[in-house]
């Protein structure tokens, strides 16, 4: 098993309404076709608007979600990230997605005690993704707190 020490949060950069609630298979098709031509979906998990956590790339395999940091990280994306009317970058997470993200982060931390931090893709790339302030929302996690992340931020 690979050593995992970080989690990166992403969005699919789709509209934050029902039209942007894409499936793992849709994102897999985006990632495996031209121009990317990756071997699989880049994310390990994809969370849909209803809070369902879908498995993407197997956790045993390095993702394709953060250039230069895939080998030791997990990639989690939520569907959405664009304002439904304007199409600009926006925090479109539903309450169910917010809860599912934090529950999944906590579960991964239990399985992989080597995970020490959670980051947004925008911290290491010139992108708006995941369209919310991860460092503020997960501040207690990144400070080493081991409590319930649903109370973070």
Q: Which residue has the tokens 């994310």?
A: 43
**43 a catalytic residue:** yes
Catalytic residue, candidates 11, 78, 129, 131? 129
Catalytic residue, candidates 15, 119, 121, 131? 121
Rounded to whole angstroms, how far apart are CA atoms 91 and 152? Answer: 17
**11 a catalytic residue:** no
Catalytic residue, candidates 11, 15, 31, 43? 43
**121 a catalytic residue:** yes
- Listed in sequence order, the residues at least 6 apart from 64 whose beta carbon sits closer than 8 Å to its beta carbon are 31, 36, 38, 39, 40, 42, 57, 70, 75
Pairing of strands 53-55, 45-47: antiparallel
Q: Which two tokens stand for residue 30?
A: 């985006």
Active site residues: 10, 43, 121, 127, 129
């Amino acid at each position: 098993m690979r050593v995992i020490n970080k989690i990166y949060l992403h969005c699919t950069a789709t509209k934050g309404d029902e039209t942007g609630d894409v499936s793992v298979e849709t994102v897999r098709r985006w990632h495996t076709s031209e121009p990317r031509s990756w071997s699989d979906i880049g994310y390990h998990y994809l969370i849909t608007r209803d809070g369902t956590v879908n498995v993407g790339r197997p956790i045993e395999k390095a993702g394709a979600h953060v250039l230069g940091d895939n080998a030791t990280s997990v990639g989690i994306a939520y569907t959405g990230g664009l304002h439904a009317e304007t199409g600009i970058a926006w925090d479109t997470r539903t309450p169910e997605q917010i809860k599912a993200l934090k529950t999944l982060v906590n579960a991964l931390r239990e399985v992989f005690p080597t995970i020490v931090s959670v980051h947004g893709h925008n911290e290491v790339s010139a992108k708006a993704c995941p369209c919310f302030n991860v460092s503020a929302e997960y501040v207690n996690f990144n400070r080493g707190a081991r409590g319930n992340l649903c109370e973070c931020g």
